[in-house]
Amino acid sequence: MRVACIGECMIELADAPGGVARAYGGDTLNTAVYLARLAGGRGVAVDYVTALGDDPYSDEMLAGWRAEGIGTERVRRTPGRVPGLYMIRTGAGGERSFYYWRSAAPARELFDGPAGHALVDALAGYDWLYVSGITLGVLTVEGRLALFETLRRASAKGARIAFDSNYRPRLWEDAEEARAAMGVALGWADLALPGFDDERALHGDRDAAATAARIGRAGPREIVVKNGPGEIVVVAEGAATTVSVDPHPDPVDTTAAGDSFNAGYLAARIAGADPVAAARAGAALARRVVGYRGAVIPADAMADLAAEA
């Protein structure tokens, strides 16, 4: 079983006692790390697909991913470039604000040119492809079209496509551009993993059930709507189920809550769990993650969940 998570990883700076802490993060990268921890020892190979520079920070990223058991064969390196950067400010209740410096990041050109065309060919051979609205938003127009072709070709060969909309307005010219691009991605997706807040902001949905119904009309047959820390709407085989879960009583940092949920859900589904059980597995991991600062928590902090996966 081969899974490719496609997107951008950036240098992460976050407020910390006495100063600023540095780490690395990105929505699809966070999912790749957690998925590798949960499923990597069970015959699931997780590759991360992105573009980096030839700088020391890119070297550190690659070393860290390899230490997590993530494959880096599909990482494109661009001489003279450096990754994007973002800053997290965390407020009361663990809610966070993000500030980005990414306009010259090499990940924007991941699918451009001859190297991008070769990547399209390579990705068509995977069993699962995982992408997000952030993946779409950071790419050039040429790259976005190439990614759509990747999804088409992979789907034609039997791959399954998982998509989380992860709407970030600043990545798009306007909401209409975002809706159009995400609509194309959903047309190829087998599994949709949206957050309700993002869907309400982009589409004006009144509730999570309306989000699930609209996405179902777009194509995916399995839909999981994350609706805050305590509720998940799961649609599978034409039936909708609302799953209630216990939220963390005192969240420290909600960064990567959705990304880790997606990893827990995917790991469980790949292992054969039904969608409701997979939603509970995803929620359990997300609940653990929000109890720590930063996008990626220490591996030993989730060792029990990995052993149960």
CATH number for the domain harbouring residue 45: 3.40.1190.20
DSSP state of 84: -
The band of 253, judged by pLDDT with boundaries at 50, 70 and 90, is confident
Please give the average per-residue pLDDT across 210-227, as a whole number: 96
What does the pLDDT read at residue 190? 98
d(CA 91, CA 217): 37
Q: What is the mean pLDDT of residues 105-114?
A: 96
pLDDT for residue 230 is more than 90: no
Structure tokens given for 143: 């790259």
Q: Which of 190, 259, 300, 304 is catalytic?
A: 259
Q: Give pTM, 2 decimals.
A: 0.94
* Distances 24 to 5, 41, 83, 86 between C-alpha atoms, Å: 16, 23, 10, 9
In contact, 40 and 55? CB cutoff 8 Å? no
Looking at residue 94, its pLDDT comes to 60
Q: Report which secondary-structure segment, H or E, holds 221.
A: none
Of 61, 163, 80, 71, which Cα lies nearest the Cα of 122? Answer: 71
Instruction: Please indicate whether residue 27 is annotated as part of the active site.
Output: no
Taking the C-alpha atoms of residue 129 and residue 139, their distance in angstroms, rounded to an integer, is 16
Query: Has residue 91 got a pLDDT over 80?
Result: no
> Which residues, 6+ apart, have CB-to-CB distance to 255 below 8 Å?
14, 25, 88, 90, 96, 293, 294, 295
Domain count, the chain: 1
- Is residue 93 very low, low, confident or very high in pLDDT (cuts 50, 70, 90)? low
The two structure tokens encoding residue 211: 């989000």
| The pLDDT of residue 80 | 95
Domain span at residue 293? 2-308
Q: Is the pLDDT of residue 304 over 90?
A: yes
